[in-house]
Chain A
Amino acid sequence: MFHVTKAYPGDPPVLVDINLDVQKGEFVFLTGPSGAGKSTLLKLMFVAERPTRGQVLISGRNVARLREGGIPYLRRNIGVVFQDFKLLPTRTVAENVGFTLDVLGTPREVVRARSLKALKSVGLEHKADVLPPKLSGGEQQRVVIARALVNDPAILLADEPTGNLDPRLTVEIMDLLCDVNARGTTVVVATHDASLIERYQKRTLRLERGTLVAEALGHKAAALMA
């Protein structure tokens, strides 16, 4: 990201002159108080929002200027774990996960098989035919992760992926994200959970009022939360 600013008319800018470089295969925590602009930064990456100024390059392409027709093809390489889940209550867990593959025109049997595999990786294959409202918050969270991963994306963006989980599940989910990262997927996790940053010791960026105020690596990252 180069000099990225995002502002809505009439409000103070959400992001101000952000410069950020995430390498392929990296694992990055994005932290800061709520309202700091973490979610907006993620949205710029999968073009749910466009920057007011500046450039966002993904695999060398400036997605800030990507035409509408190109957005779907970009998103197929990006898995997103939404803070508010965005699961369809009238479709089963497996159908929700398979949604990502349906839009690619994948044959039905393949969709089913790969959805089950993705659900297995988050430990929910026995809930495949249940409707999401019957699941606990943590289970729904894991369904969302399965949906983001089912297409083996190059990039995984997660907005507070452990926000609704108890400590044991939090560790499970984080280990899962680390596994995905170890297999070569670039992972960006927005969180305000200091314990995660302390425990996993990854590169960490801190946002405050729309500005990147600090950056640290490994064991120094925890200090950013102070």
Chain B
Amino acid sequence: MSVTASLGYFSRTALNGIVRSPFVHVIAVASLAIALVGFGLARMASAQLDRLLVALAGEVEMTVYLADGTTPEKIADLQAALSQRTGGQTRVVSPSEALGRLASELGEQGQALESLEENPLPWSVEVSLPPLAREPEQLEALAERVRSLPFVTQVDYGQEALERLTAIARALKLGSLIAFVLVFLTAVVVVSATLQLAIYSRREDIEIQKLVGATDRFVRAPFLIEGLLQGVVAAALACAALWAFAFFVGPKLAALFSFLDVGKGRSGIDPRLVLELFSLGAGMGLLGSIVAVRRFLRV
């Protein structure tokens, strides 16, 4: 038994099957492609959102306000502890530096601050938070601990904004996961239905193949190849559609959200996404054909 001869035969049979009933296969490929485009859009949106989170969180800092009269040793200890826990840079801000910043932020109105007899601002420690230390729960726990120190009066870290963004990101990810699973299952059902038709229309071939000594594997292989081909063709179409989307619609979207400073300097689609689409398409096609062959090919 020659493997190449069999592979050639399987591919010819599979192509023959597609040529013999093109309409059914077009429908299957179209549904697969739509599913894959949906998946690709969700992935692109989620990648943008991740970038947005990183961009916003790049400014995430934790500020620890200290009570009057905190000794430099204690401040140094706190700095060491904070940088060890978060892995971020720490910096001590003196009351006069804080006042200067406030004055420059207020602009002309800041001149009013000059009339103060005494600087009301406390000493503080600023921690810039690296991406790994930005989990809201984690940060809250840390803030809680720091707050309990006797010489700490207050801890700030843009809590609300961070929590909301993280919640939105999570909801989007969960939603797209659920949508993806539904679409995936639908696509598998569509593929298996088209292959069920293919099996039905070739039942005479199958009967005779069996009578002249074909193994079950031999009878099934062309159908698996058909499913695989459907998936791969659908993935190619989906890539083209997503590329067109990124090329034509992407710049407009970027202009719309320009204040967020995301999605710039990128065009086309991520090669990793292309790889994902092709493996996903092939997987859906193959799975659909396996389902069809298992359920309908009683050989």
Contacts and interface: CB of A to CB of B under 8 A. Distances in A.
A112 interface: no
B174 to A, nearest CB: 45
A75 B216 CA distance: 13
Nearest to B205: A88
A105 B213 contact: no
A226 interface: no
Interface stretch (A95-103, A165-173, A187-195): A95-103
A104 B213 contact: yes
Main SS at interface, chain B: helix
Assign chain A's interface to a size class: 20 to 34
B212 A107 contact: no
Assign chain B's interface to a size class: 20 to 34
B211 A105 contact: no
A69 interface: yes
B209 to A, nearest CB: 6
Contacts of A52: none
Contacts of A103: 209, 212-215, 218
Contacts of A107: 2, 4-5
Interface in B195-226: 204-205, 207-216, 218
Given A72-B213, A72-B214, A72-B215, A108 B1 contact: no
Contacts of B9: 102, 105, 108
A45 to B, nearest CB: 13
B75 to A, nearest CB: 79
A58 to B, nearest CB: 14
A183 B2 CA distance: 28
A102 B9 CA distance: 7
A105 B212 contact: no
B2 A99 contact: no
Interface string B124-167: 00000000000000000000000000000000000000000000
B2 A147 contact: no
A48 interface: yes
Contact of B3 (A69, A75, A105): A105
The 8 A-B pairs with the shortest beta carbon distances in the complex, nearest first, are A103-B214, A105-B1, A75-B213, A76-B213, A105-B6, A107-B5, A100-B212, A72-B215
Interface of A: 46, 48, 68-69, 72-76, 80, 82, 86, 88, 99-100, 102-108, 147, 151
